Amino acid sequence: FAQDKKSIVITVPQKQDAAKQNVALGPGGNQYQFKFDSVLHEVSQEDVYEAAASDVLQSLLEGYNGTIMCYGQTGAGKTFTMSGGRQSFKQRGLIPRVLTQLFQEVKAQSDTEFKVTVTFLEIYNDQLFDLLDITTQPHEISVHERAGPAQGGGAGSGVSVSGLRSVVVGSEAEALQLLFEGETNR
């Protein structure tokens, strides 16, 4: 991991007879550098929240849509990142932290009306699953791209998913109960 916390450098051991084996090496010989917005290595769940979710939550409170998504192979830590560990409160993941902060902000902004809805979507083996309604079949869920003004569409552009159970919640406890329900249905 590079010191800039935005790069990963991978060094591939170079064999003496690499040329004979037709091994392709990167421009730096046996080193490859990959740049990202941020690289989080050996950080706390709080650090992950600050880096990945706090700005998204702030945008939500300003009326924008927001998505936080984990992607990766099995066992990479996606569920731990999103939901957290079960050993301690300090290990709670992004979703519980966002819900806590969201409902604190909603309560603090009593002059503004908020409607908080929860859906729980899992993408597995290229299929979509509604974890709040396990009777929904993957073919009943679809993804749509909405055109924005620049593409001749309405005010809101982006991606939406139809066919998911959407539940209006009025408290952090209600939302966390749905998180528990969805996790149970995985």
73 annotated ligand binder: yes
108 annotated ligand binder: no
74 annotated ligand binder: yes
What is the DSSP secondary structure assignment for residue 181, as one 8-state letter? H
d(CA 114, CA 132): 22
Which of 47, 43, 67 has the alpha carbon at shortest distance from 56? Answer: 67
79 annotated ligand binder: yes
Strand, coil or helix: 87: coil
78 annotated ligand binder: yes
90 annotated ligand binder: no
Asked if 166 contacts 119 with a C-beta cutoff of 8 angstroms, the reply is yes
150 annotated ligand binder: no
d(CA 17, CA 100): 57
104 annotated ligand binder: no
Residues annotated within the binding site are: 72-79
Which residues are documented as binding site for ATP?
72-79
